[in-house]
Amino acid sequence: MLIKRICLISLITSFMVLNGCSDSVETKSATEGMMEFVKTDIAVGHGAEVTQGDTVAVHYTGWLYDDSVADKKGQQFDSSRDRGSPFEFPLGAGRVIKGWDQGVEGMKVGGRRILIIPSNLGYGKKGSGRAIPPNATLVFDVELLDVR
C-alpha cells in the first residue's frame, strides 16, 4: 500500500512540474488589444507645435500590434513611405482615426513619433478591410513633413 502511495505522489508531482515548465508563452495579439494610448517621440522636430485645424502632411508606416516582439510591430498593413507619397489631412476634423488626431497634435515639423493606438481610438469592432481585424491595436511610425 505504501509503495502505491509513493508511486502516485511521484506521478502527480512529476505531472505538476512538467506542466509548470510548458513552452507556451502568453502574448497579446493585435485583436486582444491594448487599452492604453501611447505616444513616444523619436525626434522632436522644430518650429511651432501642430494644433487642431492645421493641415498636416505626414509620412507613416502602420503595423498590427504584436506583444511578442520588442518593438511591438507585427504585420505591416500600410505605408506612405513605401508608396513615396505623403498623406495630408486636416488635424482634428475627424478625417482620420481618433488616435491620429490625438497622436499628431503637438508634433513639430521634422518630428517623428511612434503611436500605439488601442482599438477604441482606431478602427474599433469593425476593423478595416482584410488588413485590420476587429478590435486591433495598431502601431504607427509618423513623421511630420509640413504644416499649413
The verdict on whether 15 is a catalytic residue reads no
- Considering the candidates 65, 117, 123, 141, report the single residue annotated as catalytic: 123
The verdict on whether 140 is a catalytic residue reads yes
- Considering the candidates 97, 116, 117, 132, report the single residue annotated as catalytic: 97
The verdict on whether 123 is a catalytic residue reads yes
- Considering the candidates 37, 54, 67, 77, report the single residue annotated as catalytic: 77
- Considering the candidates 60, 101, 117, 132, report the single residue annotated as catalytic: 60
DSSP codes joined into one string, 9-64: HHHHHHHHHHHHT--------TTT--S--EEEEEE--BSSPP-TT-EEEEEEEEEE
The verdict on whether 146 is a catalytic residue reads no
- Considering the candidates 65, 66, 132, 140, report the single residue annotated as catalytic: 140
Which of 52, 43, 50, 28 is closest to 106 using CA atoms? 50
Radius of gyration over every alpha carbon of the chain, rounded to an integer in angstroms:
23
Rounded to whole angstroms, the Cα distance separating 31 from 29 reads 5
- Considering the candidates 37, 54, 67, 78, report the single residue annotated as catalytic: 78
The verdict on whether 65 is a catalytic residue reads no
Positions marked active-site: 60, 77-78, 97, 123, 140
